[in-house]
């Protein structure tokens, strides 16, 4: 079992990597002329992911964006986009971790698994 600080740091790294992959994928898709909503929307989403604010909702939105990019590109970089969508889904399920704004606002969740008898 991981100590709580290590798990919190791992979730921080996961949040940052999901945000970084989103920026890279959007930049690759709309490098020349992005639609008007892409830049402010992605900046807001990446900021929320990095600081850990509303993390499950932002991660689900990120997963939908990655799947939308998969459909728009016609399957190019399909494995890369699928892994990015899975990472976003994992982040949505795991939550923000100890080092986040969500942990300060809503408290930390600690899951305990009862032992089998």
Tens digits of per-residue pLDDT, 27-83?
Answer: 988 888 888 888 899 999 999 999 999 999 999 999 999 999 999 888 788 899 999
pLDDT of res. 2: 45
82 part of a folded domain:
yes
**CB-based contact 48:40 (threshold 8 Å):** no
Instruction: Indicate whether 10 belongs to any domain.
Output: no
Please report whether residue 2 resides in a domain: no
Q: What percent of the chain has pLDDT over 90?
A: 50
Query: How many domains does one find in the chain?
Result: 1
113 lies in a domain?
A: no
Domain presence at residue 6: no
Domain ranges, residue 77: 17-29+37-106
In this prediction the pTM is: 0.85
**Tokens representing 115?**
């032992």
Taking residues 92-110, report their average pLDDT.
85
Question: What burial letters (b/e) apply to 62-77, b meaning 16+ CB within 10 Å?
Answer: bbebbbebbeeeeeee
pLDDT surpassing 90 at residue 23? yes
Residues 102-111 as b or e (16 or more Cβ within 10 Å = b): bbeeeeeeee
pLDDT band of 107, cuts 50, 70, 90: confident
Residue 100 lies in a domain: yes
Can you tell me the distance from the alpha carbon of 80 to that of 100, in angstroms, rounded to the nearest whole number? 27
Following DSSP, what letter does each residue of 46-68 receive, concatenated?
HHHHHHTSSHHHHHHHHHHHHHH
User: Is 65 within the bounds of a domain?
Assistant: yes
> Is residue 3 one of the residues assigned to a domain?
no
């Amino acid at each position: 079992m991981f100590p709580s600080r290590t798990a919190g740091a791992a979730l921080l790294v996961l949040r940052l990597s999901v945000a970084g992959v989103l920026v890279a994928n959007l930049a690759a898709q709309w490098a020349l002329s992005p639609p008007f909503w892409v830049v402010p929307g992605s900046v807001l989403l990446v900021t929320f992911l990095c600081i850990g604010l509303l993390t499950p909702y932002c991660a689900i939105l990120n997963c939908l964006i990655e799947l939308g990019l998969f459909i728009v590109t016609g399957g190019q970089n399909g494995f890369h986009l699928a892994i990015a969508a899975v990472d976003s889904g994992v982040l949505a399920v795991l939550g923000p971790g100890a080092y986040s704004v969500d942990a300060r606002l809503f408290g930390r969740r600690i899951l305990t698994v009862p032992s089998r008898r």
